Structure 1
Amino acid sequence: MSRYPQMLSPLDLGHVVLPNRVLMGSMHTGLEETGDWNRVAEFYAARARGGVALMVTGGMAPNREGGVFPGAAGLFTPEDIANHRRVTDRVHGAGGRIAMQILHAGRYAYGPDCVSASAVKSPISPFAPQELDEAGIEKQISDIVTAAARAREAGYDGVEVMGSEGYFLNQFLVRHVNRRTDRWGGAYENRMRLPVEVVRRVRAAVGPDFIVIYRISLIDLVPDGSTWDEVVQLARAIQAAGASMLNTGIGWHEARVPTIATSVPRAAFTWLTARLRPEVSIPVIASNRINMPEVAEAVLAQGQADMVSMARPFLADPDFVAKAAAGRAAEIAPCIACNQACLDHTFSGKISTCLVTPRAAHETELQIEPAAVPKSIGIVGAGPAGLAAAITAAQRGHRVTLFDRAAQIGGQLTLAREIPGKEEFRGLTDWFATMIGQSGVNLRLNTEATVAELAGFDEVIIATGVTPRDPAIPVEGGQAVSYVDILNGTVTAGPRVAIVGAGGIGFDVAEFLTQRGTSPTLHPADWMREWGVGDPASSPGGLAPAQPEPPARAVTLLQRKPEKPGRRLGKTTGWIHRAALAAKGVRMIGGVNYERITAEGLHITFGAARENPTVIVADTVVLCAGQQSDRSLADQLIAAGRKPHVIGGADVAAELDAKRAIDQGTRLAAGL
């Protein structure tokens, strides 16, 4: 019997029966904009072969003014329809089903022609929208309906009408944006008129035997957002207008509450889906931070939803459903919700992929095929770069031996997983262990590899990582320790801490040292209280006063760069880390010179003239001043006449970049 009977049970939509309860949610990968439709088709076909019941594409613009950015993909011409037909044909040939998301960005559109309910500028765009008149509203409705009809012509099995996350239709729903006094504003019956009319006319255009999903915002997490009664009223009206299913949207993009980052608890918002489900008779889909089969199964078994939506987990592993069905869940490459290669790429204009699985969205270019000539390969370093190289090389048929001086695999990942809010990294190291065990790699831990020991291998890969950089601050007393000693538990910091270095590691250490008790990521109620997530039944938009726990220590975070600390953190997650530390009262100071460390604390000055000498009173000074590559073995091999491959931190020590390390390891091994 399957371990996931609910997740793998069919879902009858009337005109079609889906084979299981897993939806691949919409992700904007940027692939459609490349114009390489074979690449687009293979991305979706790979996931269809992996067994997902239904996929939703990235958002397709219904018109130019509604595109998320200038040049955003859509179905505007017969050529567009033919290109999309290549995708749907490939998906259907792989046994899958696919719906096209119609996304009108409204005031979120990054262009001067953006439109909305009212001329209220978004805080995440420099462009103020034009307030639509009656003719303008009719044009938007007509264009959305036309996009739906063209999606059917292109062979899609359905459409998803994007009505959440603060996009166009959502903007009409709430007073936060909609300041109108005509029949499209004011009373809620007027504010919900647009999405209901869109769904009614889409259904009329596509007929009864076509899936129509409406993405509904259950909690806006912005001021003057929807009340729960309004959400229910809209859901019932959307059902009556002809929707097949309701998919869950959580939070607007401008909300100051994280909704999908790794620090958000798993299934943190399914209590809202559970509340909506009895209010309607069509299936309700739960979403956000559902990343493993056991999480999905629990949501469904508890009656919180009829189906679960997972987006980024299908970047991490296209075979998610097939592996779960075959009893191989431990082999599912886990989505750790880091955002580094997916959303950060999206908002930087790059192709979205995955830190864990670099082949995501690169299926046609990064091939993992049997080696023409199997080789013996020695790999030194069982951090992310070495692990990725070892697994990939072994999959190709090479004979791989992996050395590490430590007693466990993971390298710097073993430190990252100790940070509150980064618990998902434990699942990543567990997955690496599973795959190393199943791949036939000869793993030799507690072993210091030498030049002599590596002499017999056809290829040698050096992935020895990094060592902490010594900032050379004079120490005249007091406690000065490396971040490694803090995170591995060798040293316990005192009640007052100064952290030297405000990069990613410095922020992580600050979060580690300020956390009191268990991480709120593991306790949804604590996390909601800390971030101010309330109940939309009592507070419009679901906002409540934030009540963070008092910090365990008084922490000061410092950096040499004369800029705002944390400015260079992840594009979509940096604000979360800055806000979390601010809530814990962490002082952040930039533009300093480190003069010396004494029993009193850390002595600093400011600027090139070394002015304003100040003492940061501290019991412990933690050094997070960057890293340097550990290349000693590589240099010895080169001196001995070998030509080792050097990857990961041993190649470039800038920050601790697991994304680059895993990508390097995978690509190197794919080409050996």
Structure 2
Amino acid sequence: MTDYPRLLEPLDLGFTTLRNRVLMGSMHTGLEETKDWNRVATFYAERAEGGVGLMVTGGMSPNREGGVFPGAAGLFSDADIANHRTVTDRVHDAGGKIAMQILHAGRYAYSPECVAPSPIKSPISPFPPKELDEDGIEKQIADIATAAARAREAGYDGVEVMGSEGYFLNQFLVEHTNKRTDRWGDSLENRQRLPVEVVRRVREAVGDDFILIYRLSMIDLIPKGQTWDEVVALAGKIEAAGATILNTGIGWHEARIPTIATSVPRRAFTWVTKKLMGEVSIPVITSNRINTPEVAEAVLADGCADMISMARPFLADSHFVAKAAAGRAAEIAPCIACNQACLDHTFGGKISSCLVNPRACHETELRYDPAETPRHVAVVGAGAAGVTVAMVAAERGHRVTLWDKAEQIGGQLNMAKVIPGKEEFVGLVDWMARMVEHPSIDVRLGTAPGVDDLRAADEVVIATGVSPRDPGIEGQDGPNVLSYIDVLRGGAEVGARVAVIGAGGIGFDTADFLTHDGGESTTEDLDAWLREWGVADPEDHRGGLEPEGPRPEPSARHITLLQRKSEKLGKRLGKTTGWIHRASLAMKDVQMVGGVNYERIVPEGLEISFGEARERPTLIEADTIVLCAGQVPERGLADALEAEGIACHVIGGADVAAELDAKRAIDQGARLAATF
């Protein structure tokens, strides 16, 4: 008897059956662009072995002008077909099924060759698109159909036609981007003509016994987006044109509402997909912020969809489904939706990976093979870096002793998890605690080892983390001054007016924490989150946008966030999430001030000036000053070992203090443990 009967139930599509209701959604990893097809095949095959019902590749371009960026992968030649056959053969050998996503970026293409229904530049690309004429539209349709036929020839079980997130087909649907007056624009019927014709031609090209998924934008989250009646009408037309399954797309990329970041509530948009249930007779997939089998099962039980799409959870754990089926859900490495190693890498032109699982997309070069000679590994520090070393070393057959002076696993992750919107870190710490319950790991909490305790170990790893940096501000020892540690670990009394010194990630997190004052995070309250960001029912308001706009709860305090650098505050935050942090604080009326000199702290607040000339002396009136002025490595034990001639590996914050950088710490720990 399984705990997830609906999730693990097969789905009969008539001509083929999926082994369960789990789709691994499309992710652009950058692997196909490496042209290392063994690496690509290994990535997908490992997830097929892990039990997923159907996978969808990253977006493959149907032509040069439709590529997300110049050189984007696609099926353009016989050689491409042969290379992709390597992938599909490996997936099928592993018992899986795989579909290829066909993605035409339209005006989102980062290329001067981009095309669109109308010559309206996207806010996320510097290139204005060329308006397609009748012949140009026909070329796009033919190229998409050809890509689908080639996908079948390459051994794929199906294709997904990308019609959401503001890409090419989505751009034809709304007046926001389609200003045409010919048969491809103006009226609703004309605006919907292109996606329907594309699906019809794709079905014609691939035959009846081939999966055809259409990714439908169910809530655009942009001004002048689709009405719900328009979405339902399009869904019916897409079904009639030959789609096998409808997949859910949420929001355009240019929308100013977060949809997949960690601060978005779990299953935040499944209610939108549920509205389509019964409107079509083909299966409907729901998506976005579903990251545990419990949540997925509940979504199906609530009648929100026929199938669940999860993408990044399969970066975090390739065996998500197999572990759930085997009653080992507590061992599933959790996707915390941080975006740091996946989407941030994608938009930075890097190969995607996963903060929690550095092997993701690096399976061929980061291997956890059994150790030839088991050794004793001593690890000091049970934060992100140290726990990762312990887990990987134990998995490889080594004996591990893991020390930490604290009474709990997790290190500074325990501060991250109290930040409103970062509740997923609770699950990460819990998973780490579960994984070190391993017969080969001796966990010694509340204990700080000395040099003599470490002499006998074969390998010594120092992962002792960081300490707050001393900013050297006159008056910082006053009773009105606290460290971020005092605030985030609780117990410190904070006044109604606060000046936060330092606007890195910790400064932003601390400011966010203080705006709530212990109140419930909107990440834990979907209705409150929808109000905060101005999301409406698309049946009531076009595009799903509340006419009144965002309606956040007022801040619990008046907060001023300051930094020495004159650049925009938050500039160095995550590439795809920094705007969310800035917008969240702006909605709470947090004042953000850059380019300051910290002159002195006085009982009335913080005295600052501006620029090298120390101009405009100003008093920031504040009851409490919170120091978030960076960190320094905690290297005392490492230095003592080196003084005794004992070799050690220094990783994580103890190596380089750079905010609370769990991505780097976990990657460092995994790669080190793989070498023992």
- 475-484 vs 576-585, greater mean Cα deviation: 475-484
1:639 matched residue in structure 2: 643
- For residues 220 and 345 of structure 1, what CA distance do their matches in structure 2 show? 25
Show CA shifts across 1:6-61 (max 9, x none).
00001111101111000000000000000100000000000000000000000000
**2:523 match:** 521
Query: How large is the Cα RMSD of the aligned pairs?
Result: 0.7
Shift of 1:655: 1.6
The match for 1:101 is: 101
Q: Does 1:258 align with 2:258?
A: yes
Distance 2:424 2:493 in 1: 24
- Name the amino acid aligned to 1:509: T
The answer to whether the 8 Å contact 2:466/2:657 transfers is yes
What is the Cα deviation at residue 535 of structure 1?
1.4
Instruction: Please tell me whether the aligned partners of residues 478 and 601 of structure 1 are also in contact (alpha carbons under 8 angstroms).
Output: no
CA contact (8 A) 2:398 2:440 kept: no
Of 246-255 and 510-519, deviating more is 510-519
Paired residue for 2:231?
231
2:200 aligns with 200
Worse-matched range after superposition: 536-545 or 89-98: 536-545
Contact 1:355-1:663 within 8 A present in 2 as well: yes
1:232–1:279 contact (8 Å) kept in structure 2: yes
Q: Which residue of 1 aligns with 2:493?
A: 492
Which residue is equivalent to 1:508? 509
Hey, what's the Cα distance between the residues in 1 that align with 2:376 and 2:321? Answer: 34
Give the Cα separation in 2 of the matches to 1:9 and 1:411.
40
Q: 1:478 offset after TM fit, Å?
A: 4.5
CA distance in 1, matches of 2:470, 2:392: 34
Question: Which residue is equivalent to 2:116?
Answer: 116
Whole-angstrom CA distance in 2 between matches of 1:152 and 1:648: 46
CA distance in 2, matches of 1:406, 1:203: 60
Q: Which amino acid aligns with 1:258?
A: P
In the TM superposition, what is the alpha-carbon distance from 1:312 to its structure 2 partner?
0.1
The answer to whether the aligner puts 1:530 opposite 2:529 as a matched pair is: no
Instruction: Give the C-alpha shift of residue 242 in structure 1.
Output: 0.4
| Letter of the 2:30 counterpart | G
The within-5 A match list for 1:216-615 is: 216-438=216-438, 440-475=440-475, 477-515=478-516, 517-544=519-546, 545-615=549-619
**Alpha-carbon contact 1:478-1:619 (below 8 Å) kept:** no
- Measured in 1, the distance between the counterparts of 2:493 and 2:178 equals 52
Aligned-partner residue type, residue 455 of structure 1: R
Whole-angstrom CA distance in 2 between matches of 1:630 and 1:200:
62
Which stretch of the first structure deviates more once superposed, 431-440 or 403-412? 431-440
Question: What is the distance in 2 between the residues matched to 1:521 and 1:117?
Answer: 37
1:650 aligns with 2:651: no
Q: Counterparts of 1:438 and 1:394 in 2: how far apart (Å)? A: 8
Query: Judging changes above 3 Å, is the alpha-carbon distance between structure 1 residues 439 and 206 closer, same or farther for their aligned structure 2 residues?
Result: farther
Say whether 1:45 aligns with 2:49: no
For residue 124 of structure 1, what is the amino acid of its counterpart? Answer: I
Distance 1:164 1:444 in 2: 50
Structure 1 length-normalised TM: 0.99
Distance 2:627 2:595 in 1: 17
Question: Which whole-Å CA distance do the structure 2 matches of 1:326 and 1:373 have between them?
Answer: 31
Residues paired across the two proteins, number:
672
Range moving further from structure 2, 485-494 or 150-159: 485-494
Q: Could you tell me how far 1:247 is from its partner in structure 2?
A: 0.2
Measured after TM superposition, the shift of residue 644 of structure 1 is: 0.3
Query: SS of 2:379's equivalent?
Result: strand
Q: Structure 1 CA distance, aligned partners of 2:567 and 2:17?
A: 56
- Quick one: distance in 1 between partners of 2:660 and 2:123? 31
Q: Is the 8 A contact 1:391 1:439 kept in 2?
A: no
| Equivalent in the alignment of 2:72 | 72
What CA distance in whole angstroms lies between the structure 1 residues aligned with 2:430 and 2:493? 26
Q: CA deviation digits over 1:389-419, x for unaligned, max 9?
A: 0000011111100000000010010000000
Q: Confirm or deny: 8 A CA contact 2:317 2:332 kept in the other structure.
A: yes
Quick one: distance in 1 between partners of 2:654 and 2:82? 47
Partners of 2:360 and 2:491 in 1: how far apart?
A: 38
SS at match of 1:613: strand
Quote how far apart the aligned CAs of 1:456 are. 1.0
Q: Distance in 1 between matches of 2:8 and 2:101?
A: 24
- CA shift at 1:68, angstroms? 0.1
What CA distance in whole angstroms lies between the structure 2 residues aligned with 1:218 and 1:515?
Answer: 32
SS for the counterpart of 1:308 is strand
Contact 1:8–1:325 (8 Å) recurs in 2: yes
Give the deviation of 1:262 after TM superposition: 0.1
Q: Normalised by the size of structure 2, how large is the TM-score?
A: 0.99
SS of the aligned residue for 1:66 comes to coil
| Offset, 1:490 | 2.7
C-alpha distance in structure 2 between counterparts of 1:272 and 1:565, whole Å:
35
Aligned to 2:623: 619
Percent identical across equivalent pairs? 72
Structure 1, unaligned runs of 5 or more = none
Task: Give the conservation status (yes or no) of the 8 Å contact 2:595–2:610.
Answer: yes
On the 8 A contact 1:395/1:439 being kept in 2, the answer is no
Partner of 2:149: 149
Structure-1 separation of matches of 2:440 and 2:636? 28
Q: Deviations over 1:499-534 (max 9, x none)?
A: 000000000001100025200000111000000101
Partner of 1:20, secondary structure, is: coil
Asked if the contact 1:478–1:600 (Cα under 8 Å) also holds between the matched residues in 2, the reply is no
2: distance between equivalents of 1:472 and 1:204?
Answer: 71
Structure 2, unpaired ranges of 5+: none
